[in-house]
Amino acid sequence: MLAHIDAFARGIIRDAGAVLLRGFRAPDLVVEYKSRTDLVTNIDRESERLIFDALRREFPGHVIIAEEGSRAEEGDDYVWYVDPLDGTNNFAHGIACFCVSIGVYSRREGRMAAGFVYDPFHDELFHALHGSGSFLNGAPIRISTTDAVDISIVATGFPYNKKETANNNSREFCSVMPEVQGVRRFGSAALDLCSVACGRIDGYWERQLKPWDCAAGAIIAEEAGGRVTRYDGSNFDPEYPEVLATNGRIHERMMTLLRV
């Protein structure tokens, strides 16, 4: 089954990436506001429809949970978490940092089974299957070897409802920022996790995520040798909206800095 999932997901995610590329910086892009800060475009919806319809046909017995509302709820083992466009704010502003993210969770095993993240602008396809390592365009990738926080580049993100809640990452940001070489806010949780996986950055933390944001990237970071947990070091769970992903070497120190 995993080989089938792998071959299918790598094909469909490239097709969805082509939809994103066609809509990127296009004059007829339609932007709607789910809230003042949370955008959705016609391209998010088109990409989701393509993936959802294809998944339904190929795996009728699997659960599908997609960000823009598509659901297939009857199924036993596999759950597909689909983010048809991660980095929508970047996309809507013409900033070339966005991707399609597809994570596959096995209920039977109680863990992620596979993850696929495709950045069509840079033509980078990240993928991982449980126990088999992580790959970028078919070549194996590994986490960085940076072993101290003060020479680390880390990334984070802030929730859309940041004005309404004090739990908006400002305390954690102020705690980490002076201690590291640099903090980045790229605007795509899935690509942040893949950047940890391939060693471009040394760590990433964010709260209030949804499973479609982080499920795929989490297994890709882990299979590349990274450590992926909640802030307190307990097991990552895609349904629990908190992730700290690092190269492992800076994990304990990051956990301490996030305890604010």
Residues that bind ligand IPD (CB under 6 A): 83, 86-89, 157, 159, 187-189, 206, 209, 213
Binding region for Ca ion (CB under 5 A) out of 20-28, 66-74, 117-125, 162-170: 66-74
Cβ partners under 8 Å of residue 164, min gap 6: none
Nearer to ligand IPD among residue 207 and residue 249 (C-beta): 207
Helix, strand, coil distribution of the chain in percent, nearest 5: 35, 25, 40
What separation in angstroms does the CA of 225 have from each of 182, 199, 202, 205?
Answer: 22, 10, 12, 17
Binding mask 196-225 for Ca ion (x = CB under 5 A): -----------------x------------
Binding region for Ca ion (CB under 5 A) out of 28-36, 61-69, 147-155, 244-252: 61-69
Instruction: Report what 161 binds from ligand IPD, Ca ion, none; CB cut-off 5-8 Å by kind.
Output: none
Instruction: Count interface residues toward Ca ion (CB under 5 A).
Output: 5
CB of 150 to Ca ion, least distance (A): 30
Binding region for Ca ion (CB under 5 A) out of 78-86, 132-140, 159-167, 168-176: 78-86
Instruction: Report what 103 binds from ligand IPD, Ca ion, none; CB cut-off 5-8 Å by kind.
Output: none
What separation in angstroms does the CA of 203 have from each of 37, 197, 210, 228?
Answer: 26, 9, 19, 10
Amino acid found at 11: G
CB of 91 to Ca ion, least distance (A): 9
Binding region for Ca ion (CB under 5 A) out of 79-87, 109-117, 177-185, 196-204: 79-87
Q: Which of 83, 59, 79 is nearest to 213 (CA)?
A: 83
* Residue 192 interacting with Ca ion (CB under 5 A): no
Q: Edge-to-edge strand order for the sheet containing 182-184?
A: 182-184, 153-156, 203-207, 242-246, 227-229
Q: Which of 95, 96, 82 is nearest to 54 (CA)?
A: 82
CB of 189 to ligand IPD, least distance (A): 3
Name the residues that contact Ca ion, by CB under 5 A.
Answer: 67, 83, 85-86, 213
